[in-house]
Structure 1
Amino acid sequence: MNNKKLDVICLGRAAVDLYSEQIGAPLEDVSSFKKYLGGSSCNIAFGTSRMGLKSAMLTRVGDEHMGRFVRQELARAGVDVSHVVTDKERLTGLVLLGIKDKDTFPLIFYRENCADMAISESDFNEAYIASAKALLITGTHFSTKGTDQAARTAIKYAKANNTKVVVDIDYRPVLWGLTGKGEGENRFVSNDSVTQHLLSIMPLCDLVVGTEEEFHIAGGCEDTIECLKRIRKVSTAEFVVKRGALGCSVFKGEIPDTLDEGITRYGVTVDVLNVLGAGDAFMSGYLRGWIPGEATEKACDYANACGAIVVSRHGCSPAMPSLEELDYYLANRNDIPRPDLDPVLNYLHRVTTQRMLREDPTKAWQDMCILAFDHRRQFVDMCREAGAPLSQISKAKQLILQAAYQGSSALEGKVGGTGILADGTFAQDVLNDITGKDFWIARPVELPSSRPLRFELGNNVGQAIATWPANHIVKCLVFYHPDDEVSLRNEQEQKVMDLYRACCTTGHELLVEIIPPVGSEVKDDTLSRSIERFYNLGIFPDWWKLPSPSKAAWQNISDLIKARAPYCRGVVLLGLDAPVDVLKAGFEAAAGQDICKGFAIGRTLFSEPVKAWLRKDIDDAMLIERVTQNYLEMSALWQQRNDSQMMKRKEA
């Protein structure tokens, strides 16, 4: 099996989960929902990819927004979506889910003739199934004649090509037509026809996973051991019984008289928020160990840990842990009763799973040329100086965006990335236009020039940024010095702390811009001491934006970030309306500093053209042309920084 390019193909449900945000409310009283990737097979494909396996999804989605969302979310996690087929006749399935209490999780499936239930033998061939070490199918796709035929064909191809067959029983009575359509939370209804159907599948399997209730439906009674014995008569598969807080038990041969006599690994007790999706997380963890052939006990530990982490969080697929999270949790699980509240675990989840990716996920955000025009007060001042109405600010920013587009097009293939810094006050149309394109986008929250720091969006900044697109980076400028008067320093730090916590909640990346106050003494350790102070407070921004440091200061900053925040995205350089020769010197000082990812400069590039435009000395086209030219010249200096340093070394 070593020559197979995929670890697992997951065949089954692909849906969108809409999780209620009001914990404790019945579904009829819920007022808002969070949208996540859903469907058992989709969740497992997503989870196994986070576990480092090469996973693929075999399903159908609708030719609409939710279908595109499913495909994009899978691809973003690294899942092969080459066989996620677009069905032009059907819609993607939806599920509404609630969290009433620790035992009550109402859900409604909207899956009437949905896309994934139209999967067909024509959607795949034998070579595709043969390319994987394992084929996973969830129980719903044995529930209708069409899906059952497609699933059995995939199994036939798997058996002929040494591809292991894995079945997650995943019994949902409502999806077998055994309950009313609104009874999605009902997890068990006995039915002889379903039992016989599932028993006919068991001989084809290498691994079968289910809860005790799911083995009850497969075995045809409500005694778990008796059910396992009945299934063992027709199947040599490995059985894994999920036992919730008690962990799991594995049976590879003859069935003993008690569950504990199997290979049993007990889980760690955690406070439960949401059990929905815990089984998919369990399966993802188990496959991490089972497919590569690790010890069964190890696979059980992975599975139990994944389940424990996910039951403590909101949602399923987004709650799935990364390898880094899982390894940390396994090493510290006895000390983490609330995984959702553990700061290290949450930090690892944030930096390893929630960050925005490029259109090409193999490309990182580095070597970036960013056009910054998030200024507000400065544009107001320019309008007043020129006698122009403030309504011209929005128009000016739209023209600067066109310059950014033209510059980006000219720089394609020459730099690692391009982007903008723009505000929601005067540039909301700009943000709306650029969102969804492959640009780095950040926007400010600070009240311009405020010291102590104040938020332009008001004190409830978290509620405000929750309305922003997920790929908008939250940028906060703070005029800060580590030797500030204590009360001022504490007040500003608390504001940044509040913002960081808000970003952790909403999932947005945070960029903190530090500018030492005018007149303060700036030494080679000033910026690094400022950064260290925030780290000591538990504030770990994804990005830093800094004035150009000296070579010695760069070394201090680089050493600190690598030691304290190795997942930090990096530093971008600001401009402060400095002359070009000063900025060039700053670029050269940054040469060779891997932590420096680019520049975010504005006024040096746009101030004079915008002033001339406001005075009506130049037209729209000339403004765009001049800003574009300035942007490209600055980008050329950035690209030349390493060459300049090499020449200086040779001359020395």
Structure 2
Amino acid sequence: MASTDGLDLIAIGRSSIDLYGEQTGGRLEDMLSFAKYIGGSPTNTAVGGSRLGLRTGLLTRVGNDHCGRFIREQLAREGVDTRGVAVDPERLTALVLLGIRDPDTFPLIFYRENCADMALCEADVDPDFIRSAQAVLINGTHLSQPEVFAASMKACAIVRANGGRIVFDIDYRPVLWGLTGKDAGENRFVADTAVTERLQQVLPLCDLIVGTEEEVHILGGDTDTLAALRAIRARTNALLVCKRGADGCSAFPGAIPASLDDGVVGRGFPVEVFNVLGAGDAFMAGFLRGWLRDAPLEDCCAWANACGAIVVSRHGCSPAMATWEELQAFLHGGERPFRLREDAALEHLHWATTRASDYPALTVLAMDHRSQFEALCSQVGADPGRIAGFKSLALQAVDRVAKGDPSFGVLLDGRYGARALEAAATAPYWIGRPIELPGSCPLEFESSPDVATELATWPANHVVKCLAFYHPDDPQALRERQERQLLRLADATRKTRHELLVEIIASRNGEVADDTAARAIQRLYDLGIRPDWWKLEPDDRAAAWRNIEDAIVRNDPHCRGVVLLGLSAPEDELIASFEASAQAPIVKGFAVGRTIFADAAQRWLAGEIADEAAVADLARRFSVLVDAWRDAKQRARSQAIRETA
């Protein structure tokens, strides 16, 4: 029997890099920049299925190159099992260039000659891996090459012998069968009897077959959809699902009726079509989420259509795939705008439920200070050029304490910390980077006046940190000016796909009561600003933290959490403040700098201690705070257990 504790689905076939033109409404020739995503129909479906709660895996090949490593890493981030992703030392990873010209035109260029995934062969099919799944998904495009056809058939035989099910995505791309010019990648149909004969060889094996009307035509060998469906039905008892675009879909578990509308019909959702690419893969993921869990056929169709509608409204294929929570919100959350990507609540839910990694705890050495280091250099007569060297030592100190634990992190700036940021690129740690002009109030941004242009130059794993000296009782003109800047930044981070940490220091601008920080947070939420992280001042009042947590959870239950800043507080005072903040589950840790580095930085810059002494001092002080925070959290958890016992 098929496994009940392994994977739900293994998808077999294409896996590529999609380079999506970021400009829309023009020719591919006129694209200026491209967004990089993982792609390929089976890969997209594996990602989509995983986001919907299925346990998915992928059987494919990637090159031993940067693109292949990106695919493997991104699949792991998405929760897709990569045991079947072989690394091909001889071939490059497949590549596709894509554009969005108008609602009907989506230019595609496939770079697939002798690429890694099309070299998949029978030897790549591990029987134990295949037997771990309840179903395999094979793909029509991959059947165009003899070796890949043989690999797909071997996998089907294994899963069939193990009591599993076989899904066939017709996925017809004439260009990949050599039937069109290489510049006609978007062409969806060219009649060809040889293709029909090849595809029909798999029909007796299948339990589920899914395709568009054009794909049904090539599989059935007839351009009349009903006639093609009947030709397919004559060769298989599989459930047949015909995708009908805006009209939804029709499913046929038995004989083919006189009309498509006489099948089990799932109606489409009225949304603006922004990008059809990837919608079919999303449809498949949604359908399989129901079908593999034995949901009613009507639910399978509804989920499939909804997933397709969500993806056609967005840029990209795999990154646009809906999560289960997002799908439920779409189906049951009331009226949605026709231009679905303008639904701020749904877009935020998509962002928040597709972020990589989870952080139940986060302890950060904050080394993003710039003006403070310049002042230190002036004080001891040191060359500011030495600051960069000290910040690189700080990264060594973090590594000495963390030993590869991803719940640790660094805050580093691009002015003096660029070398350390570069070194951190291959480390597993959380990385934050400041965008504000040091000390500015009203808030100003460092570097480019156009903050989105600046962020477009930052690596994707850099969390944008912005400090605002912001009090909810600031004079109206000051408050509104700072809020405009934060709104610009929040919008920019979403468009550049960076996480955002907002740091609020209210004490510089006025008195701080139990509700001050919570009121500031609420004000920003009211404006539509939803940071991934908050960085807040230490406070020894439990009531203040209850107010803060209430404000965050009420407005954004998906917020990653709060980290504490240090404000140069003496070590013992900062540790004492941990007791109250640790009581709040929303507080995940700290991002402290001067309490840890001030003494070592002054002595190192003055030439009084060498590199190793500086690293050791930083590591020791950082460890003291880490241990104190963990102890405070453990006491808080123990107290919570006692109170609920």
TM-score, with normalisation over the residues of structure 1? Answer: 0.95
Q: Are the aligned partners of 1:136 and 1:166 in contact in 2 as well (CA < 8 Å)?
A: yes
State the one-letter code of the partner of 1:587.
F
* 1:492 equivalent in alignment to 2:482: yes
2:356 corresponds to 1:356 = yes
Q: Distance in 2 between matches of 1:568 and 1:376?
A: 28
Determine the structure 1 residue equivalent to 2:179. 178
- Please give the per-residue CA displacement for 1:269-326, whole angstroms capped at 9, x wherever unaligned: 2111111111101101110111111011111111111111111111100000111111
SS of 2:236's partner is coil
Q: Secondary structure at the match of 1:351?
A: helix
Q: Which one-letter code corresponds to 1:142 in the other structure?
A: L
- The CA distance in 2 between the partners of 1:611 and 1:100, in whole Å, is 57
Q: Report matched runs for 1:434-513 at 5 Å.
A: 434-513=424-503
Q: Quick one: distance in 1 between partners of 2:636 and 2:287?
A: 52
* Aligned positions of 1:574-589 closer than 5 A: 574-589=565-580
Contact persistence 1:129–1:163 (CA under 8 A): no
Match of 1:597 among 556, 577, 588: 588
RMSD: 1.8
Aligned partner letter, 1:522:
V
Contact 1:4 1:133 in 2 (8 A): no
- How many equivalent residue pairs? 638
Q: Give per-residue Cα distances to partners, 1:49-88, cap 9 Å, x unaligned.
A: 1110011101111111111111111111111110111111
CA distance 1:648–1:249, change in 2 (3 Å): closer
Deviation string, structure 1 residues 319-361 (Cα, Å, up to 9, x no partner): 00111111111114643312211011100011111x232xxxx
- 1:418-456 Cα distance to aligned partner (Å, 9 max, x none): 111111111111111012311111011111111111111
2:624 counterpart letter in structure 1: E
Could you tell me which amino acid in structure 2 is paired with residue 618 of structure 1?
Answer: I
The residue aligned with 1:407 is 401
Structure 1 residue 626 corresponds to structure 2 residue 617? yes
Q: Give the match for residue 537 of structure 2.
A: 547
Contact 2:470–2:509 (8 Å) recurs in 1? no
Query: Cα–Cα, structure 1 residues 608 and 213, in superposed 2: closer, same or farther, change >3 Å?
Result: same
Instruction: Please tell me whether residue 607 in structure 1 is matched to residue 598 in structure 2.
Output: yes
After TM superposition, give the deviation of residue 614 of structure 1 in Å: 2.1
Instruction: Flag the 1:219–1:643 CA change in 2: closer, same or farther, 3 A.
Output: closer
Q: 1:433 aligns with which of 408, 420, 423?
A: 423
**Local SS of the residue matching 1:6:** coil
Q: What is the correspondence of 1:229-268 to structure 2 with a 5 Å cutoff?
A: 229-268=230-269
The aligned counterpart of 1:383 is 377
Deviation, 1:519, is: 5.8
SS in 1 for 2:61: strand
Classify the secondary structure of the residue corresponding to 1:452: coil
Name the SS for the 1:454 alignment partner: coil
Corresponding residue for residue 369 of structure 1: 363
The residue that corresponds to 1:89 in the other structure is 90
2:582–2:629: 8 Å Cα contact kept in structure 1?
no
Give the secondary structure class of the aligned counterpart of 1:20. strand
Indicate the SS of the match to 2:159.
helix
Per the alignment, residue 219 of structure 2 pairs with: 218
Does residue 633 of structure 2 align to residue 639 of structure 1?
no
- Partners of 1:46 and 1:156 lie apart in 2 by 24
Instruction: Indicate the SS of the match to 2:82.
Output: strand
* Residues 173-202 of structure 1: CA deviation (Å, up to 9, x unaligned): 111111122221111110111112222221
* Equivalence for 1:533: 523
Provide structure 1 residue ranges, at least 5 long, that are not aligned to the other structure: 358-363
* Larger CA deviation: 582-591 vs 284-293: 582-591
Contact 2:61 2:117 in 1 (8 A): yes
How far off is 1:127 after superposition? Answer: 3.5
The alignment's TM-score, normalised by the length of structure 2, stands at 0.96
Closer/same/farther in 2, CA of residues 140 and 642 from structure 1, 3 Å limit: closer
Q: Secondary structure at the match of 1:513?
A: strand
> Structure 2 vs 1, CA of residues 442 and 145 (structure 1 numbering), >3 Å: closer, same or farther?
same
- In 1: Cα distance, 2:509 partner to 2:19 partner: 52
1:601-625 deviations in whole A, cap 9, x for unaligned? 1111111221122222222222222
SS at match of 1:82: coil
Aligned partners of 1:466, 1:537: CA distance in 2, in Å? 24
Could you give the per-residue CA deviations for residues 361-389 of structure 1, whole angstroms, max 9, x where no partner exists?
xxx32333211111111111111111222
The residue number in structure 1 matching 2:121 is: 120
* Residue-by-residue CA offset, 1:476-527 (whole Å, 9 max, x unaligned): 1111111111111111111111111111111111111111143611100111
- Superposed CA deviations along residues 91-116 of structure 1, whole A, max 9, x for unmatched, are 11111111111111111111111111
Q: In structure 1, what is the equivalent of residue 74 of structure 2? A: 73
CA contact (8 A) 2:170 2:215 kept: yes
Is 1:424 the equivalent of 2:418?
no
Counterparts in 2 of 1:159 and 1:617: CA distance versus 1, 3 Å: closer
Q: CA deviation at 1:645?
A: 7.5
DSSP 3-state at the match of 1:468? coil
Alpha carbons 1:356, 1:471 under 8 Å: kept: no
Q: Following the alignment from structure 1 to structure 2, what is the Cα–Cα distance between the partners of residues 403 and 443? A: 18
Once the two structures are superposed, the pairs formed by residues 510-525 of structure 1 within 5 Å of their partners are: 510-518=500-508, 520-525=510-515
Are residue 571 (structure 1) and residue 562 (structure 2) matched? Answer: yes
Task: Specify the code of the residue in structure 2 equivalent to 1:585.
Answer: A
Gaps of 5+ in 2: 641-645
Q: Render the CA deviation track for 1:462-481: whole Å, top value 9, x for unaligned.
A: 11112111111110111111
**1:109 matches 2:110:** yes
Aligned-residue offset at 1:626: 1.9
Alpha-carbon distance in 1 for matches of 2:222, 2:349: 43
For the structure 1 residues 618 and 2, does the alpha-carbon distance in structure 2 shift closer, same or farther, using more than 3 Å as the test?
Answer: closer
d(CA) in 2 for partners of 1:149, 1:339: 42
Residue deviations 1:238-269 (CA, integer Å, cap 9, x gap): 11000000000011111111111111111112
**1:22-41 maps to which residues of 2 (within 5 A)?**
22-41=23-42
Distance 1:130 1:521, change over 3 A: same
- C-alpha separation in 2, matches of 1:46 and 1:150: 22
1:403 is displaced (CA, Å) by: 2.1
**Which residue of the partner structure matches residue 61 of structure 1?**
62
What amino acid does structure 2 have at the position aligned with 1:598? G
Identity, % of aligned pairs? 51
Contact 2:286 2:303 in 1 (8 A): yes
Q: Secondary structure at the match of 1:640?
A: helix
> Is the deviation greater in 250-259 or in 198-207?
198-207
Output the amino acid matched with 2:409. G
Q: Give the corresponding residue for 2:643.
A: none
Alignment match, 1:315 = 316
Distance between the aligned counterparts of 2:22 and 2:222, measured in 1?
Answer: 37
For 1:36, what is the secondary structure of its paired residue?
strand
Task: Name 1:360's counterpart in structure 2.
Answer: none
Once the two structures are overlaid, the 10-residue window that deviates more, 391-400 or 161-170, is 391-400
- Residue 391 of structure 1 aligns to a residue whose secondary structure is helix
CA distance in 1, matches of 2:408, 2:509: 33
In 1, Cα distance between equivalents of 2:229 and 2:639: 76
Letter of the structure 2 residue corresponding to residue 400 of structure 1:
A
CA 1:367/1:158 → structure 2, altered by over 3 Å: closer, same or farther? closer
Q: What CA deviation, in whole Å up to 9, does each residue of 1:198-249 have, x standing for no partner?
A: 2222122111100001111111121000111111111111110000000000
> 1:192 is matched by which residue type in structure 2?
T
Please name the residue that 2:156 is paired with: 155
Equivalent-residue separation in structure 2 for 1:619 and 1:158 (angstroms) = 63
* Cα distance in 1, alignment partners of residues 65 and 524 from structure 2: 44
Cα 1:42/1:515, change in 2 over 3 Å: same
